[in-house]
Amino acid sequence: MKHELWIENEDEQTFCLSGRRGERARKLLEPNAKLVWTCEAPSNFEAMTKYYEYMGWGEYTTDFPEHDKKTYAELGWE
């Protein structure tokens, strides 16, 4: 699934799914928010791993690997 990174200002960004699954998140964006990066990932864990890498934040970890590593297809989202 495609994910989007929106930057609102120096301190605020939103990383969300594209398409209808990300509509609620995008509705909260400031009017001047800019789409700056997209990536494809089959799971939340892979998306967050790519996001952390892009931002230079180091390795992404999760407290819920049994859920976060499930693919979106396994969760019935595709």
Q: What are the tens digits of pLDDT across the range 33-60?
A: 999 999 999 999 999 999 999 999 999 9
Inform me whether the pLDDT recorded for 78 exceeds 80.
Answer: no
Domain membership of residue 13 as a residue range = 2-68
pLDDT for residue 65:
93
Total number of domains in the chain? 1
Report the C-alpha gap between 59 and 50 in whole angstroms: 9
- Enter the pTM of the model: 0.91
Inform me whether the pLDDT recorded for 77 exceeds 90.
Answer: no
Asked if residue 47 belongs to a domain, the reply is yes
Asked if residue 42 belongs to a domain, the reply is yes
Report the C-alpha gap between 13 and 71 in whole angstroms: 24
pLDDT for residue 49:
98
Burial, 18: exposed, middle or buried (Cβ in 10 Å; 0-12, 13-18, 19+)? Answer: middle
